[in-house]
Structure 1
């Protein structure tokens, strides 16, 4: 099982990575963010949108509610400004979770009866928290690969090098 220290570190890491990637994506402009690059979700924008859609679903599930379903290929936030705002709100929610979620809360199993999925299993919250962070990392790597192919320097993605982590301060 993970601990609240894990949640805290991953929330900080996630914000650091998101801040850097979103700044790179701001710099490349709307046309480049929206270009179909053959990624699973087509464009950088759509990939970042997908991350936020899944974050929203997992955060909803953690609260014991059934998340709404999005049709495949649906882009929830077509506006770059709105997507940035949603991402910041989600990073804030994870930072708050790092402060308020307890080890006991993380161990609790959560599910909500859903008439469309009557056999929905009870899953420990910690599994879903790990899924949230892992899912973000997986899709951010697709974005960094696209940025790399464009010659954009996005910086380190290694957890120990996170500014403020205290491991390798320069």
Structure 2
């Protein structure tokens, strides 16, 4: 089972990577950012949009709130400015939520109806939270691949190299 400390660490990693991805995506310009590159969600913009949609849905489940009403196929944020603002707002929400998660809540059952699988889902919350962070990493990996195909290098993405963790030892 994961702990509150792990949730907070993964939330910090989420923000660090999103800041880097969005900074690089911002340099692409609208045409390259929205061009269909054959990815599952088409473009860099489409993939980042899917990711913020997923994050908001999971946060609603975790906080026992109604799911946001995005519509089934539309982009949550058709403009870059709106997507960037919503990403920043959602990352702040994730950070705040992560600070409140207790180990008892993580061990407790979580239930929700999955529209994707058309069934009621029931599992310990820690499994759903693990999926939440894994989903983020999976789709950020797709975006880094799209960047690589454009000749852009995001640099190191490994969690141990996150600046807040990377410490040098004194000689």
TM-score, L = length of structure 2: 0.88
Larger proportion of strand:
2
Residue by residue, what CA displacement relative to the aligned partner does 1:20-67 show, whole Å, maximum 9, x if unpaired? 000000011111110000000111100000001111111111112452
Q: 1:3 to 1:73 in 2, by over 3 A?
A: same
Q: What stretches of structure 1 of length at least 5 have no aligned partner?
A: none
Q: How do residues 60-139 of structure 1 correspond to structure 2 at under 5 angstroms?
A: 60-68=60-68, 72-112=72-112, 120-139=120-139
Q: 1:112 to 1:121 in 2, by over 3 A?
A: closer
8 Å CA contact retained: 1:147, 1:154:
yes
CA distance, structure 2, for counterparts of residue 70 and residue 134 of structure 1: 22
CA distance, structure 2, for counterparts of residue 9 and residue 56 of structure 1: 19
2:46 corresponds to which residue? 46
SS at the partner of 1:111? strand
Q: 1:167 to 1:80 in 2, by over 3 A?
A: same
- State the superposition RMSD in angstroms: 2.2
2:8 corresponds to which residue? 8
8 Å CA contact retained: 2:56, 2:68:
no
The alpha carbon displacement at 1:164 in A equals: 1.0
Q: What stretches of structure 2 of length at least 5 have no aligned partner?
A: none
Pairs aligned (count): 167
Residue by residue, what CA displacement relative to the aligned partner does 1:101-154 show, whole Å, maximum 9, x if unpaired? 11011122222579xx99513222222211111001101111100101111121
SS at the partner of 1:25? helix
Runs of 4+ off more than 6 Å: none
